[in-house]
Structure 1
Amino acid sequence: MAFSKGSWVAIAFLLFAPLVSAANGDHKLSGRYYDKTCPNVQRVVQTVMANTVARDPSVAPALLRLFFHDCFVNGCDASILLDSTPFFESEKDAVPNTSVRGYEVIDEIKSVLEHDCPATVSCSDIIALASRDAVGMLGGPSWNMPLGRKDSRRADKDGAEKLPSPHDNFAALVSMFRDRGLDARDMTALSGAHTVGMANCVNYRDRVNGDADIDTSFARTRRQTCPAGRDIDGGMAPFDEQTPMRFDNAYYKDLIARRGLLTSDQALYGSGGSQDGLVEMYSRNGARFAKDFAKAMVKMGNISPSKETPVEVRLNCKMINWS
């Protein structure tokens, strides 16, 4: 039996219409959300992640960063994955996101899951699981990640331009995290993600070329890759020189030694009181940091898009359904 192009569109709409929600509904996330509909989801994510990280370990911190940059713009809704359309600009083009990568890994996981469990697993849940597995593959903690997120049908480039800046001071950071339901302890634990990965010269140039609150030998070393007054393309430097690809508590030891790479890193230590005590505790007790980090990742992962946000389970993470 032959069908016209219009007939196929109509049939597809009828088959997949339940995937689209007019707006974000109130529902609780659950670690067992896919137990019946896609029981292999965690195994699929872990398998693709293990193969990818074995080829390129730097993908692991990149995917952890991807999760942060998604959740901090209207909640964890995979809006960062959307390409531009005539109706909205992509968050990928926002200045804070120009160096974000790992999109192709999410696409690969999605492709496998669409084969195994069509139209079931959201792109936002894939990001959440991939970031969790990334931490574990770098030697960090694991946790039971609640699932059941939906994908936004729109992006917010303007919102993405307002992501936390590497130049922010402590007060600005506290305010930005508080606006998303995260307290100073959550912020301090989540900032420990900078125990892995790299930063571009443009993000640390001011600190190493003019900040008084910095170890002089550290600043001298970093100025070799990022001198003042020169437009260095790249100039990548590790957040943690000692164990740049191991998820540990070295980040906090660096802060105490005034060797935080970004202004926003060092802002977490030096003001005195309970905040300094928290950094000192994490520097001594890696297990406490790991526990608090896992707890804060779950809390951040619970940030929902606004109730007015139209959501769905995207069939392709780069575009909304029936665009």
Structure 2
Amino acid sequence: MAIQKILTVLFLYLALAFLLVELTNAGGLQLGFYQRTCPGAELIVHQTLYRYISRDRTLAASLLRMHFHDCFIRGCDASVLISSTGNNQTEKDAIPNKTLRGFNVIDAVKSALEKKCPGVVSCADVLALVARGSVVMVGGPHWDVPTGRRDGRVSIANEALFNLPPPFANITVLKQQFAGVGLSVKDLAVLSGGHTIGIGHCTTISDRLYNFTGKGDTDPALDPRYAAQLKKKCKPGNSKTVVAMDPGSFKSFDEDYYTAVAKRRGLFQSDAALLDDAETRDYVTTQSRTHGLTFALDFAESMVKLGNIGVLTGEQGEIRKRCAFVN
């Protein structure tokens, strides 16, 4: 009888623990969140996205960047997608987001989902799933994306202007901004590796090439031969030309970014800044020497952390019918 009583109590404790876990999951993110409410949702995302990436691989970097820019401001709530109104300038129109591309891709994915399951899948989840799909489609790692995010209703341009890590940031600023959203120094080094795909505009490196300290000089942290190559492409005042962030393989997700940074050929000051801290420098050096031995796994882990920043779940926020407009 004593053993039976103990077993009964133990069973009740386990049942209670299981119930608490279920309740916790119900209020947060889950793998397969839409399995019952919108079966095939992730397949719809993949198929729609593939139509775009297969025609233009450069969109992958833009869509990854869009997710990053969204999560850094108010968490991963799709606030970066909201269009400005006469009464409010939104994140989309902030200077750091002026060069974002791929809003039409997000709209196409959302439209396809709305036809299948009206009012079910959030724009925030679309962004997270599209970021992963984009990376995978250009040779990068796969990671689990738990879903169940809700969409925010607030988007303010100045928040993006002042809180997104700028391309001219030094290592101190970068570490502070990443820590501010719960990301570690290692996450900083790892997520910077996303620059293995994509392009940069000449305007973002003009001062670095021609007026670094206000005396018409070039950033001494930049390899002189690489600086000379950039100057041929980016003449003073050039606002139209773009250059690859990872020359030679900017359409493929690989570890070459770290090799470039180790050789002082990172395009932005924020790339070069990784050599100014012991932990980030060690990561750069290790990946460049080992041909990115752990980069894919590390990137997947850091992207999961990024996608969990400040999420709205349960009854918070809303499910937007159109990603550019609050319901």
The answer to whether the superposition gives a TM-score over 0.5 is yes
Aligned counterpart, 1:299: 305
Amino acid at match of 2:126: I
**Residues matched between the structures, number:** 293
Segments of structure 1 that go 5 or more residues without pairing to the other structure are: 1-25
* Contact 2:44–2:112, Cα closer than 8 Å, also in 1: yes
The one-character-per-residue Cα deviations of 1:29-76 (angstroms, maximum 9, x if unpaired) are 111211111121111111011111111111111100110111111100
Partner Cα distance (2:80, 2:126) in 1 = 13
More helix per residue: 2
Partner Cα distance (1:66, 1:131) in 2 = 8
Aligned counterpart, 2:169: 168
Aligned counterpart, 2:44: 44
Offset of residue 213 of structure 1: 1.1
Amino acid at match of 1:175: Q
Partner Cα distance (2:259, 2:281) in 1 = 12
- Specify the SS of the correspondent of 1:99: coil
* Contact 2:149–2:311, Cα closer than 8 Å, also in 1: no
Residues 106, 87 of structure 1: CA spacing in aligned structure 2 closer, same or farther, 3 A cutoff? same
Segments of structure 2 that go 5 or more residues without pairing to the other structure are: 1-25, 211-217
Amino acid at match of 1:215: D
How high is the TM-score relative to the length of structure 1?
Answer: 0.87
Aligned counterpart, 1:188: 189
* Contact 1:88–1:154, Cα closer than 8 Å, also in 2: no
| Bigger shift: residues 52-61 or 297-306 | 297-306
* Contact 1:61–1:196, Cα closer than 8 Å, also in 2: yes
Between structure 1 and structure 2, the one with the greater Rg is 2
- Specify the SS of the correspondent of 1:119: coil
Are 2:270 and 1:264 equivalent residues in the alignment? yes
User: RMSD in angstroms over aligned alpha carbons?
Assistant: 1.8
Amino acid at match of 2:209: V
Are 2:281 and 1:282 equivalent residues in the alignment? no
Offset of residue 285 of structure 1: 4.3
Aligned counterpart, 1:120: 120
Amino acid at match of 1:261: L
Partner Cα distance (2:172, 2:281) in 1 = 14
Partner Cα distance (1:270, 1:152) in 2 = 36
The one-character-per-residue Cα deviations of 1:200-255 (angstroms, maximum 9, x if unpaired) are 0111122233100111110000011223xx31122200001121111001010001
| Bigger shift: residues 250-259 or 77-86 | 77-86
Offset of residue 306 of structure 1: 7.8
Amino-acid identity (%): 39
* Contact 1:80–1:91, Cα closer than 8 Å, also in 2: yes
What aligned pairs does 1:13-162 form with structure 2 within 5 A after superposition? 27-162=27-162
- Specify the SS of the correspondent of 1:38: coil
- Out of 238, 252, 256, the residue aligned to residue 250 of structure 1 is 256
* Contact 1:207–1:261, Cα closer than 8 Å, also in 2: no
* Contact 1:208–1:219, Cα closer than 8 Å, also in 2: yes
Aligned counterpart, 1:316: 322
How high is the TM-score relative to the length of structure 2?
Answer: 0.86
Partner Cα distance (1:53, 1:183) in 2 = 31
